[in-house]
Amino acid sequence: MKTMNSKSGPGNQLIILMLLMFIMFFLFGNQDIVSWIAVTLNSVFYPIIGFKGTYPVLTITLAGVLAVFLSSFFNNLFTDWKKMGETQELSQAFQKEILEARKAGNTNKINKLMKTQPEIMKRQMDAQKGMMKPMLFLFIFIAPIFMWLRYFLGGLDYYYFTVPWENGISLFDKPFLMQSWLWLYMIFSSILGQIMRAGMKWISMSDWWKKIKSNIKSSLRQ
């Protein structure tokens, strides 16, 4: 399996992103494909996190946990956090220096700094190259989970949940543009995502993870 060209520039990455978005819109717009994916996944997810439709909020939470884990895992796999941090510090130092030089009217210093800007931009692009690669894996794994969740919730006999300030809120009500179940999914995913990404970022600094990451990338190049 060949990986994406490591020398691909922003233009190529943008084309890949647009292609993925086009495929996503096509799949989500084709009800036959969506139904087939949802029914297929239902045979796997329903026995594990479906709870026979008794605890839909728990199912939404666990689906969010799975999606966030996959998102964090692949993002962490292809992102060099150390390089990202170094690049951000370099960029901030550059902006600070050039701002001070402009305030002082130091033309010579500005010219010298501007000569280093292409190198800084190159480092930024190199650090961000890995950000596009996870999107293919996210699309392959996360979009089907979302399709299944809609299918699962659509077949529930009891689709209400309770909050401290109100009883019997429908998962399909639209309090703010989106249905309640989607708000629950986004809230849980956002909170869990912050925690999980922070944890994986910390793990990524360990030699144990670096070895696993190297082995996975080697297998993907074969």
pLDDT at 128: 65
Beta bridge partners of 163: 166
Let me know: does 170 contact 159? Beta carbons within 8 Å: yes
How confident is the prediction for the chain on average, in pLDDT? Answer: 77
Amino acid letter, residue 13: Q
More confident position, 128 or 10: 128
pTM equals 0.66
> How far is the C-alpha of 28 from the C-alpha of 141, rounded, in Å?
14
Residue-wise pLDDT tens digits, 179-201: 888 888 888 888 888 887 777 77
For residue 44, the model assigns a pLDDT of 92
Burial of 105 (0-12, 13-18, 19+ CB in 10 A): exposed
CA distance 55 to 30: 29
Residue 166 forms beta bridges with which residues? 163
- Which tokens go with 102? 């402009």
Q: CA–CA separation, 57 vs 65, rounded Å?
A: 12
d(CA 106, CA 111): 9
